Structure 1
Amino acid sequence: MADHLELAVLHRSGGASPAKKERYTFDFVINGQSLLAVTGAANFDLSGCLSVPQREPELALRLNDRLTRLLTSAVPVGGSHRVALYVCPECGDLACGAITTLVSRSDGVVRWSDFAYENGDDCETKLSKVGPFAFDWTSYVTEIERACAG
């Protein structure tokens, strides 16, 4: 049985002290559970890697196509690569901290596994209690494209 993926709007309030950018990104909701919550990404003040086009059109235009490809078409059948799902809301730099996953693909299925917290300085911290997840390829791509459509 395949896992179910939904992208839900994730709002980060801005503030003056300390200075924080307001952000509208997406949370990855798997089988009804927020991946932001399950991974503890909120504890690190991380935001989703994809911007909400209706709220952050410039960022979405600049980033979403590349990131969407990393999650979908850039994953070769039989291959895999790591993708940052939650990143620093200020700069998106992995050195500030990120929740990453190994994205792999086989015929009709995409898998997310080997979740980790990475920050560029320390050894990655495996999140062994998260995943793995397997999604039907067509439903997965449709949901990501739906959310990222401007």
Structure 2
Amino acid sequence: MSADYVTFGLAPAMRAGGVLINGDYQVHRDFMDFIIDGHPLLHQLSDLDAVSPLASDVPPAIFTAQVRSLLLEADAPLPAGRYVIYGCPECESLECGAVTAVIERVGEDFVWRDFAWQTDETADLDLNGYHGIGPYRFRGQEYRTALEQLLAAGDEEPPPRRRVLLIGARVDVLAKLAAALRTINIGADITSDAADVPPEELRAYGAVAFGRAVDEHTRATTRAAFERAGAEVAYVDGLAPIVPLLVAQLEAALDRSPPERRRLAGLVAVEGEAGVEVTSTCRVQLIAYRLDRLYRTHTHEVFHDVLEPGTHRIPLDARATKGQSFIVARTTGAVLVTRMIH
């Protein structure tokens, strides 16, 4: 095997859920991504909406079986020694398509090679092979240690906190927001005061969202309650009573991936122009949400295209961003939100 050695690691990642512009829902998924030579492997697949088999919401027995499989302690699930590296985030069907690779042991080392897009039992490398990816040769000890740590964590590792606490005055908006969050696989509870919530319950939350009408006293007592419980959470100030916008804000707050490995690194919107920073080639969608004088919501897709790594200045439709407006940037696995500054 002529492949040079590369490093192998794992890091938290997510497939951001959301309420899409057409009203459909996209499910939230937390998973462990494969880090090759310090970079997420998924980022090399610029337009792929997928998750690794190491997803946090699969049953423990299945999660363990997936880890054992990657360690070659079980037979390959596909012919010719092929394993699923990334699959559909909505289901487990191979018909939706999956990135697969041959995994083999060479002496003490592990090798991933012959990456391909696969929709049935047999991979066609000539037609659907990822010829620019791999082969990767990992030192056996490093590879085994990274994967076995997932097994060793077991019950000691707390599950991702995919629950949010909603605090606000507009019960109708909170109810719609909670329903949308639950639909995309994020738990949500509504309260007017967190001071009397038991500490063990507070530690189950990953984020707290405050409505615009919540006063400073309530905000302060809520923060104090979480501090007493020893719970570190992200605090979100709701930008506007627009459910898809609030869902996007909470998705951004729940992102556990290391900041230096995020594909979508920055978003600003000033005077009809958006500044978007991406760290790898990816498709980016920009959606503008606007409240008119009667507080009616207007939604417009203002950009949808592939961007190369770097910072990009994108002109925005003036009609879509006038007045009180907000921009949501979405790409594979990441979402950011900002207010339009005029």
TM value normalised by structure 2: 0.38
1:36 aligns with 2:42: yes
Please tell me whether the aligned partners of residues 72 and 104 of structure 2 are also in contact (alpha carbons under 8 angstroms): no
Larger Cα-atom Rg = 2
- Give structure 1 regions of 4+ aligned residues with deviation exceeding 6 angstroms: none
Post-superposition CA distance 1:70-103 (Å, at most 9, x none)? 1114268xxx711111101111221111111100
Report the 3-state secondary structure (helix = DSSP H, G, I; strand = E; otherwise coil) of the residue aligned with 1:48.
coil
Q: Tell me the amino acid that sits aligned with residue 42 of structure 2.
A: L
Q: Describe the shift of the 1:135–1:121 C-alpha distance in structure 2 as closer, same or farther (beyond 3 A).
A: closer
1:146 aligns with 2:149: yes
**Corresponding residue for 1:70?**
69
Q: Describe the shift of the 1:135–1:5 C-alpha distance in structure 2 as closer, same or farther (beyond 3 A).
A: same
**Corresponding residue for 1:89?**
89
Post-superposition shift, 1:123?
A: 6.2
Q: Describe the shift of the 1:100–1:122 C-alpha distance in structure 2 as closer, same or farther (beyond 3 A).
A: closer
RMSD: 2.3
Q: Describe the shift of the 1:45–1:106 C-alpha distance in structure 2 as closer, same or farther (beyond 3 A).
A: same
Q: Describe the shift of the 1:21–1:108 C-alpha distance in structure 2 as closer, same or farther (beyond 3 A).
A: same
Report the 3-state secondary structure (helix = DSSP H, G, I; strand = E; otherwise coil) of the residue aligned with 2:149.
helix
1:46 aligns with 2:50: yes
Q: Tell me the amino acid that sits aligned with residue 47 of structure 1.
A: V
- Of the candidates 1, 5, 13, which is equivalent to residue 2 of structure 1? 5
User: Once the two structures are aligned, what percentage of the paired residues are identical?
Assistant: 29
Please tell me whether the aligned partners of residues 50 and 87 of structure 2 are also in contact (alpha carbons under 8 angstroms): yes
Q: Describe the shift of the 1:123–1:2 C-alpha distance in structure 2 as closer, same or farther (beyond 3 A).
A: closer
Report the 3-state secondary structure (helix = DSSP H, G, I; strand = E; otherwise coil) of the residue aligned with 2:81.
strand
Q: How many equivalent pairs are there?
A: 140
Q: Tell me the amino acid that sits aligned with residue 82 of structure 1.
A: R
For structure 1, the 5+ residue unaligned runs are none
Post-superposition shift, 1:60?
A: 4.6
**Corresponding residue for 2:131?**
128
Higher alpha-carbon deviation: 105-114 or 63-72: 63-72
Q: Describe the shift of the 1:36–1:75 C-alpha distance in structure 2 as closer, same or farther (beyond 3 A).
A: same
Post-superposition shift, 1:11?
A: 0.9
Please tell me whether the aligned partners of residues 95 and 121 of structure 1 are also in contact (alpha carbons under 8 angstroms): no
Report the 3-state secondary structure (helix = DSSP H, G, I; strand = E; otherwise coil) of the residue aligned with 1:95.
helix
